[in-house]
Chain A
């Protein structure tokens, strides 16, 4: 800050000139038009849809891409309609929904904590869901079996994820939420959940362990419309909530004081968004198990592709969907043994993140 008024005025002008981007206004809504971001987002959406259709077309009864697209948009032949809508759609849609949910959830948590490591995995949400699921799988007899039979593994896992998320949130609450404290608390809760899981696995029967392990990796096998409907509607509702507060989201990146100065009720906005992030992650885990890495890597990839300084929400969701759908396609077609999608997301996402980092460093 300079004391001299004239100098400061010159500085402001210089700033305006360097960072100019045209504004767009529709009634009360206004945003900055950034062609690169819009283009990248559009490309991601198209790529995501193509992979989604490809994934539907692949199988014992292969269907060509144009026919898949026609069927998805309501046309198509009778046979195609049956195979696609009844058999393959649930799985593909689950991949899409889970990918979007994880991507957006990761972008929200990373932004709020201002730390790229603050994905739902690190905050303990996915491991909380995993601990509950493993408990139901390994502890047979009595109440656990009754719960597993009546409400299902997915619902129990969702409850576990939600409970863990809320636990982390309330434990981190101390006259407000601080990103760093949130991560530290998340790490410690995560450690407890993993310790419980490990303990359950050590004491369990080996057949149950294999089942639990398969669930713990994350998989899209055998999805039915029933499960997909729940995940789809939950995700859509949550995305609407996120979208409705998204305009107050960006200022949070400048810190609480600036956000308050810009008229953002940062406490409320952050609480709502964090709750949405937890719920999105919980829904994703309940639908596909704790698929690793999507929530961490999707926002990071989206940031670099869209050349944003912060995690872009829409692009993060799209990258998540692309990553998950593509991984599932690979898992079913390219590999000699059938592996759960979680193995593939990690196998692709890990090296890709490393590649991004190395490339970013070279510049």
Chain B
């Protein structure tokens, strides 16, 4: 994000430099919020920890003290992986949500639209039914493969012929594949009790029970997706002017779309495989980010990423607090908290049909 790139859009009434300063400040504010939320995520839970205890748990050398060892165990094996996963998956889903709206020019596009969620669900349930998988480390790869295949199939189907790139074609193809895969998933789940049981937990969108053995590779895929996404941001802006205008301005439309879809699939697929289908997050934060930054995707996408991480973290924390001693899964909280908030924004007329 260099200065020369940013100053190019038409000047706003306030002047480009002030708008930019405000946007940078906003990014800084979001980053600070993310840090606070992450710290809270380390401290809050079935056993609440003081900041000092968290610090000890994170950095203290192994000691003989029984209590400190216990704290270190909680922090390092439970809270840290969970927090890291929330941040990584939140960024991925937020960026993916913003990108998919940019590429489809469809303001109600969600990563579920590309069939990513349903592909992952189907692959996971098939893996459980066929191979008797029990741990996330085993089926996360199935989920990722399913997400990727579904995303590529939907994109491929909608890009055959002249209607390619029509937002409605993509949306409808996505719905077609999604509903088909959901039905297949149910068919498998109804004939196999074990996979039904596993599926309902995976479906809730949970951040627990996933260790660094899963988070590591997942993060690598997400990092690759983020890099790809960043390279296409200026072209997404031009794509939003319409295919003809974009082509006239020298955008290689087919290439940009392909790179974009690969990036979205990497991001959403990896996040979905690790924590289950977290619906609505990408859609929601993309709209909020657009409300904050305006339509420039070079700003919108980073905002959406940070917002995604903050929202997912906060939802996970809320889920730990509300139904104690039990927990509400993050995916459920995202929908329960996010939807009314989103509805209020809609009602106040904050969103335009792009």
Residues of A within 8 A of B (CB): 116-117, 171-172, 174, 180-181, 183-185, 187-189, 191-192, 194-196, 198-199, 201-203, 206, 209-210, 213-214, 216-217, 292-293, 296-297, 300, 337, 339-340, 342-347, 349-354, 357-358, 360-363
Contacts and interface: CB of A to CB of B under 8 A. Distances in A.
Nearest to A350: B180
B44 interface: no
A195 B349 contact: no
Interface in B139-179: 157-158, 160-164, 166, 168-169, 171-173, 175-179
Q: Which 4 A-B pairs have the closest CB atoms?
A: A350-B180, A346-B183, A361-B161, A195-B335
Contact of A343 (B157, B164, B183): B183
Nearest to A203: B326
B190 A300 contact: no
B204 interface: yes
Interface in B335-354: 335-336, 338-340, 342-343, 346-347, 349, 351, 353
Contacts of B280: 187-188, 191
B158 A357 contact: yes
A201 B180 CA distance: 22
Interface bin, chain B: 35 or more
B335 A192 contact: yes
A339 B339 CA distance: 33
Nearest to B343: A188
A343 B122 CA distance: 13
A131 to B, nearest CB: 12
Contact of B342 (A184, A203, A351): A184
Interface string B310-345: 000000000000000010110111111011101100
A337 B335 contact: no
B37 interface: no
A187 B190 CA distance: 27
A51 B203 CA distance: 37
Nearest to A349: B179
Nearest to B183: A346
A168 to B, nearest CB: 9
Contacts of A214: 190
A90 B108 CA distance: 39
Nearest to A174: B347
Nearest to B186: A217
A342 B196 CA distance: 17
Contacts of B135: none
Contacts of A183: 108
Contacts of B283: 187
A206 B193 contact: yes
B346 A188 contact: yes
A362 B189 contact: no
B172 A357 contact: yes
Contacts of B328: 199
Contacts of B107: 180
A201 B342 contact: no
A222 to B, nearest CB: 16
B169 A357 contact: yes
B279 interface: yes
Given A198-B200, A361-B162, A192 B177 contact: no
Given A117-B108, A185-B347, A191-B335, A343 B186 contact: yes
A346 B335 contact: no
Contacts of A349: 176, 179-180
Contact of A342 (B161, B183, B338, B343): B183
A76 B200 CA distance: 49
Contact of A358 (B161, B193, B196, B326): B161
Interface in B268-285: 279-280, 283
A139 to B, nearest CB: 15
Given A187-B108, A292-B182, A361-B160, 12 more contacts: A171-B343, A181-B349, A184-B343, A184-B351, A199-B329, A201-B203, A202-B204, A339-B190, A340-B190, A343-B183, A346-B182, A350-B175
Nearest to B328: A199
